[in-house]
Structure 1
Amino acid sequence: MNQTHTWKQKVKMMLHILLPIFITQVAMQFMVFFDTVMSGNFNKENLAGVAIGASLWTPVYTGVSGIFLGVTPIVAQALGARKKDRIASSVIQSGYLAVAFGFVLILAGAFAIEPILQAMSLEPDVAEVATHYLHYLGIGVVPVLIYTVLRASIDGLGQTRVTMFITLLSFPINVLLNYMLIFGKFGFPALGGAGSGLATSITYIIIMLIAIWFMKQNDGMRELGMLSMFEKINWLTWKEVLRIGTPIGLSIFFEVSIFAIVTLLMSNYDTITIASHQAAMNFASLLYMLPLSVAMSLTILVGFEVGAKRYEDAKQYARLGIGSAIGLSALCAVLLFLFSSDVAALYNPEPEVRALTQTFLFYAIFFQLSDAIAAPIQGTLRGYKDVNAVFIIAFISYWVIGLPTGYALAEFTDLDAYGYWIGLIVGLAFGAVGLFARLAVIERKAKQGTLKEA
């Protein structure tokens, strides 16, 4: 990355960082998309089973992996401050921490999965698919957390095209493995929706190995000393990663888990409702990749400028990112309104599932506007290493406002399942307002020279 002096240069630099991240995020989300679509085309019980399994796994995975996204601002600020000697050690120590977290997750899952599923009112076939899906995902826990560290490090250095190519290489492999393991092709057993869990784990292993190979072979990475030697555990580095990463992980967990909790609460409805909700939520998550990619770009760009103490440049990048996200998300909302029936048809051919999915998709339109504001501001604040406020706002907006509102509307009005979606929309809107107010405070402190260095 380089310093920019004009708006034109900033647009060019942002596109250089953003486009590979967007392609990467879409490709990764397409893996989940194909898991859901291909499982749904096996039958609706497998679609519902994958929905329940993913609802348990996704918040845990995103929350824990979110901790290691803290590596991105650490690396970006070190690069901006010309402290390159700190980068390699931060990466290797974060890798050790990722392995430790991975084994804890595997151990916790071994004891918790079956009791949790038994406590839910699931049809036996759905519960069986969810159980096997989660067990297969356990194989890839450690590899995906290690990859998250490597990816966050590469992105923090501004080399987002690298992670894009890694993901694009692995994407067709994941789809092929889904085809083989879900439907039992080329001599493999037909595992149904559970096979998508195994396919995902194998893909995690592949992308981890490719990232390690890149870091060992790239001249720039070797110059920084990336993965060149083993170190003793450095508790101070672990503390720094956890101090920055834990609020990031918790804020992501609170955001993602509320969607998972809503899906789990919907287990009280019939299989058609569960399947339709999951299909609509899956597509809404795909659209979310746009503002999320802008957010990840802003973490890198703002972190680089803050590390160099160029606060006005950081503010300009923030405005550029927020404006872009709002415009593009509004366009996506219009397209979703026009083509919701076609989107619904992708997930399941049964008329009842298709009709209900289309209705849920109309609610997803309102997600776009709040996400277009909230996500880029989150990314900007992380670039400043201002992570605690994001965590508090996420907790209040999703768990204190969003979930109770949705529960009340679903249980005590005629809205039923739609009430949960309205509650989510209310929570997202509150979060967007709170984050905007926090950004104003941080930028004012930066202008006044009273911003504390994290």
Structure 2
Amino acid sequence: MYQTYSTKEKIKQIFVMLIPILITQFGMFSMVFFNTIMSGKYNSSDLAGVAIGSSIWNPIFTGLSGILLAVSPIAAQRFGEKKGREVSSILTHGIYLAVMIAVLVIILGFFLLNPLLTVMNLPGSVHETAHGYLVGLSYGIMPLFIFNVLRSFIYALGKTRVVMYILLLSLPVNLFLNYVLIFGNWGFPELGGAGAGYATSVTYYLIAGMTAAVIIKQQPFSQFVGLEHFKEFSGEKVKEILKIGVPMGLSIFFETSMFAVVTILISKFNITTIAAYQSALNIVSFLYMIPISISMAQTVLVGFEVGAGRYKDAKAYSWLGIYLAVIIAIVAGLLVVLFRYDVAALYSNEPAVIALTGQFLIYALFFMISDAIQVTALAALRGYKDVNISFIITLIAYWLICLPVGYLLAHFTPLGAPGYWIGLTTGLLAAGISLSWRLIHIQKRRYNEKLAKVV
């Protein structure tokens, strides 16, 4: 990363960071994409099982990895302040934290997974697939969380292409493993949807190993890595990551768990509705990788400028990210609505599922615009390390607006299941407006503080 002096330079800097992050995010999402599509081609029951399994795992993973993503804004600010030793310390303690969180998740999963699936009262085949899928995924939790720390560290230094190359190399392996383990090809066991979980876990080991090797051997990363740093465990450093990371993680958790709850509520409908909703959500989530990638670049760039004391540049990056995300959401949303049935056909061979998926996707345009605003405004606030109020805003928007509105529309109006999409859009829009207001407030406060120092 480097200091920029004009809007043109800033846009160029955003895209230099954004494109590799975007390809990386598409790579990460492609694993879920392969899981869903190939399970759907196996049969609808396995698609529903993978959907339920994903709806349980995604809030846990994204919420906890959100804690670890705090490594990015903290390290970016230290990098902007030219404090190399503290960058090393943040990386080391992020890895320690990743291991501790992974162990905790595995222990809790061992005791709670079966009771949770039993309470959901799923059809037998769906229950079995969801359980097998989650057990398969559990083997890859440790390398996945460590990879997220390593990736956040790499992003903090502005070197986003490295992770992109690693993900691109790993995708063919993931696709091959899905193919052989789901369908039992080439002498491998036929595991159905559960095979997708095992395929993904093996891939996580691969990407974590390759990322670690690059960091240890290549500059500028290797200067921040050394065994001596692992001998200096500090509770204060862990607390620093948790202080920023816990509100970040909770905000992400409340968003993803909201979608998970909607999936669970829709599971009370028939298998066709479950499969159609999951397919539509998968399509929108795939396109969501664009604003989430912009937000990752945003957090690092804003954090770097804040660390260097250049608040005017930090403000410019904040709003450029929001404008860019909204423009892309409008274009992508219109394309999804226009070609909704063609896209839906990628997920299923069953006409009923395709028709219902197309119906869900009619609401995609407004949903995507609202989501783009809230995710990029939230990311800019993280760059300022302003996370506590953001957490409260997202909690209210997701759980006191999205879910109640969606539930009322789905169960007390003729809309049925599509009512949940309107509820989700309403809550996300409320979050976007509130977070944008908070961002304006923080930027004014930082500007006034700088003026006061000058005086």
Q: Distance in 2 between matches of 1:127 and 1:115?
A: 11
Answering whether residue 270 of structure 2 is matched by residue 270 of structure 1, we say yes
Answering whether residue 122 of structure 2 is matched by residue 122 of structure 1, we say yes
Corresponding position of 1:67: 67
> Structure 1's 85 and 229: CA in aligned 2 closer, same or farther, altered over 3 A?
closer
Corresponding position of 1:141: 141
**Share of identical aligned residues, percent?**
49
Q: Distance in 2 between matches of 1:268 and 1:361?
A: 20
User: In the TM superposition, what whole-angstrom CA distance separates every residue of 1:132-179 from its partner, at most 9, and x where no partner exists?
Assistant: 101111101111001100000000110111111111111111111101
After TM superposition, the structure 1 = structure 2 runs for residues 42-53 of structure 1, keeping only pairs within 5 Å, are: 42-53=42-53
> Structure 1's 451 and 43: CA in aligned 2 closer, same or farther, altered over 3 A?
farther
Q: Distance in 2 between matches of 1:106 and 1:451?
A: 50
Task: Report the residue type matching 2:370 in the other structure.
Answer: S
Do the aligned residues in 2 keep the contact of 1:68 with 1:94 (CA within 8 Å)?
A: yes
Q: Distance in 2 between matches of 1:155 and 1:32?
A: 23
Do the aligned residues in 2 keep the contact of 1:73 with 1:383 (CA within 8 Å)?
A: yes
What is the DSSP-based 3-state SS (H/G/I as helix, E as strand, rest coil) of the residue aligned with 1:449? helix
After TM superposition, the structure 1 = structure 2 runs for residues 300-449 of structure 1, keeping only pairs within 5 Å, are: 300-449=300-449
> Structure 1's 74 and 362: CA in aligned 2 closer, same or farther, altered over 3 A?
same
Do the aligned residues in 2 keep the contact of 1:216 with 1:227 (CA within 8 Å)?
A: no
Do the aligned residues in 1 keep the contact of 2:46 with 2:192 (CA within 8 Å)?
A: yes
Task: Report the residue type matching 1:253 in the other structure.
Answer: F
Q: Distance in 2 between matches of 1:217 and 1:451?
A: 44
User: In the TM superposition, what whole-angstrom CA distance separates every residue of 1:100-141 from its partner, at most 9, and x where no partner exists?
Assistant: 110110011111111111111311101100011011111011
Task: Report the residue type matching 2:265 in the other structure.
Answer: L
Task: Report the residue type matching 1:347 in the other structure.
Answer: Y
Task: Report the residue type matching 1:293 in the other structure.
Answer: S
Task: Report the residue type matching 2:9 in the other structure.
Answer: Q
Corresponding position of 2:99: 99
**How far has the Cα of 1:222 moved from its partner?**
2.0
**How far has the Cα of 1:226 moved from its partner?**
5.0
**How far has the Cα of 1:334 moved from its partner?**
1.1
Do the aligned residues in 1 keep the contact of 2:57 with 2:134 (CA within 8 Å)?
A: yes
Task: Report the residue type matching 1:275 in the other structure.
Answer: A
**How far has the Cα of 1:227 moved from its partner?**
5.6
What is the DSSP-based 3-state SS (H/G/I as helix, E as strand, rest coil) of the residue aligned with 1:236? helix
Q: Which runs of 5+ in 2 are unaligned?
A: none
Q: Distance in 2 between matches of 1:228 and 1:181?
A: 41
What is the DSSP-based 3-state SS (H/G/I as helix, E as strand, rest coil) of the residue aligned with 2:190? coil
**How far has the Cα of 1:229 moved from its partner?**
4.8
Deviates more, 1:217-226 or 1:6-15: 217-226
Q: Distance in 1 between matches of 2:177 and 2:80?
A: 41
Task: Report the residue type matching 2:12 in the other structure.
Answer: K
Q: Distance in 1 between matches of 2:106 and 2:451?
A: 40
Task: Report the residue type matching 2:106 in the other structure.
Answer: I
Corresponding position of 1:109: 109
Q: TM-score, normalised by structure 2?
A: 0.97
Q: Distance in 1 between matches of 2:186 and 2:328?
A: 41
User: In the TM superposition, what whole-angstrom CA distance separates every residue of 1:378-422 from its partner, at most 9, and x where no partner exists?
Assistant: 111110001112211110000011101111112222222112111
Do the aligned residues in 2 keep the contact of 1:222 with 1:228 (CA within 8 Å)?
A: no
**How far has the Cα of 1:328 moved from its partner?**
1.0
Q: Distance in 1 between matches of 2:40 and 2:172?
A: 19
User: In the TM superposition, what whole-angstrom CA distance separates every residue of 1:203-257 from its partner, at most 9, and x where no partner exists?
Assistant: 1111110111011110322222356653242100000000010000000000111
Q: Distance in 2 between matches of 1:224 and 1:145?
A: 19
Q: Distance in 2 between matches of 1:451 and 1:378?
A: 25
Do the aligned residues in 2 keep the contact of 1:31 with 1:171 (CA within 8 Å)?
A: yes
**How far has the Cα of 1:365 moved from its partner?**
2.1
Q: Distance in 2 between matches of 1:272 and 1:228?
A: 56
Runs of 4+ in 1 over 6 A off after TM superposition: none
User: In the TM superposition, what whole-angstrom CA distance separates every residue of 1:32-55 from its partner, at most 9, and x where no partner exists?
Assistant: 111100000000000000000000
Corresponding position of 1:76: 76
User: In the TM superposition, what whole-angstrom CA distance separates every residue of 1:256-315 from its partner, at most 9, and x where no partner exists?
Assistant: 110010001111111110011001001110011111111101001000000001000011
**How far has the Cα of 1:85 moved from its partner?**
1.4
User: In the TM superposition, what whole-angstrom CA distance separates every residue of 1:177-199 from its partner, at most 9, and x where no partner exists?
Assistant: 10111111111011111100001
Q: Distance in 2 between matches of 1:451 and 1:54?
A: 49
What is the alpha-carbon root mean square deviation over aligned residues? 1.3
Q: TM-score, normalised by structure 1?
A: 0.98
Q: Distance in 1 between matches of 2:277 and 2:253?
A: 20
